[in-house]
Amino acid sequence: MRLLYLSNDYTPHDHRFLSALAGTEHEVFYARLQRGPRQTEDRPVPAGIEQVRWAGGGKPFTWGDLPRLTLGLRQVIRRVQPDLVHAGPIQTCGLLATLAGFRPRLVMSWGFDLMEDCERNAWWRNVTRFTLQRATFFTSDSQVTRERAVLFGMDPGRTVVFPWGVDLEHYAPSSVVRRSSSFTLFCNRSWEPRYGVDLLARAFVQVARQRDDVHLLLLGDGSQAGAIRKILGGVSERVTFAGHIAQAHLPRFYHMADLYLSPAHIDGSSVSLLEAMACGLPCLVSDIPTNREWINAGENGWLFPDGDVEALTARIVQAVDQRKNLRRLGQAARRIAEARADWKKNFATLLETYERTVSLHA
């Protein structure tokens, strides 16, 4: 099969999809819609993947680019002659593939496109509906995004859900038992409003006033960097700002922690949450629909009401006080990851979906 993979940018998620596709018998072409202001992946495009030179991929996307990029994508399709276009997120790449007129199209949600972007305004709602009603097939990584797609007109019989999952060999519990009197909280969500790291910063300030044995390990960066560092200024000696860490080294940081936190307001099946679970970490996350698909309170972690600093503070203190139970919760998290978040197994679902999508157009 000749496959055209159309994505917004080049991220660690794209690298993972393309790496897996490079190991298949398919002939894969990769078209990048834009080059955004923040690059999160520095590894080259995997060998065996042909990156398409076209009208897109050189600068941030704007709606004014839509006519030019639509014509450019039509030219790419004429040149590549794909059997299938795999496009996502919905309102950019999915829309472009729809306007280009090629079928069959597999539209893939990236989570935020159906949890946030689809409700920005009437334009985004209409674009979402237009794209999904015309898609050949749809895939997402959570039940809640599938349900949203159906509400926007996607045929429920032409949908499949598969969590993107993680490499369970790379992300695995450490064989070294941590022996430390301090308690380390870990968060590696981007410092953007939708991920709520500023909320965690405010909660940690309160925790630090109550406990002198708690440390915060923060990875990443983002547009809220100044505000977050200001919030944590009075307790900065209790915070490690580690910046961006290469994927190859991430497990070591999970192993340094006692508890993983994600205060995201909007999310799909968070890959970083699945990485933490695979590493045997209990997780404290916001009580939003996609997190409830993975975290069972008291079994493999805890939930706290989204946006509630006081509740998050209380849950952190509770976890510190119950540290003797963390090993049991972490083991349960690993078992759930093994059962449902195995990238190698879940990727096979995508390949099956390609076959189903093509067969619908035969």
Could you write out the DSSP letters of every residue in 180-225? -SSEEEEE---SSGGGTHHHHHHHHHHHHHH-SSEEEEEE---TTH
* Residue 56 clears pLDDT 70, i.e. is over it: yes
Single out the residue of 297, 279, 286, 234 nearest to residue 261, CA to CA: 286
* Residue 103 clears pLDDT 90, i.e. is over it: yes
Res 246: pLDDT: 85
* Crossing angle of the two packed helices 197-210 and 309-321, in degrees rounded to 10: 50
Contact 235, 163 (CB under 8 A): no
Element (H, E) at 271: helix 271-278
For residue 353, give both structure tokens.
């979906």
Q: Provide the pairing of β-strand 259-262 with 239-243.
A: unpaired
Pick the more confident residue, 182 or 283.
283
Res 362: pLDDT: 67
If pLDDT is split at 50, 70 and 90, which confidence band does 219 have? very high
Question: What is the mean predicted confidence (pLDDT) over 124-134?
Answer: 98
**260-308 pLDDT per residue, tens:** 999 999 988 899 999 999 999 999 999 999 999 999 999 999 999 999 9
* Residue 108 clears pLDDT 80, i.e. is over it: yes
Question: What is the mean predicted confidence (pLDDT) over 19-46?
Answer: 92
If pLDDT is split at 50, 70 and 90, which confidence band does 357 have? very high
* Residue 36 clears pLDDT 90, i.e. is over it: no
* Residue 50 clears pLDDT 90, i.e. is over it: yes
Res 179: pLDDT: 67
CA 60 vs CA 37, 38, 136: distances in Å:
7, 10, 28
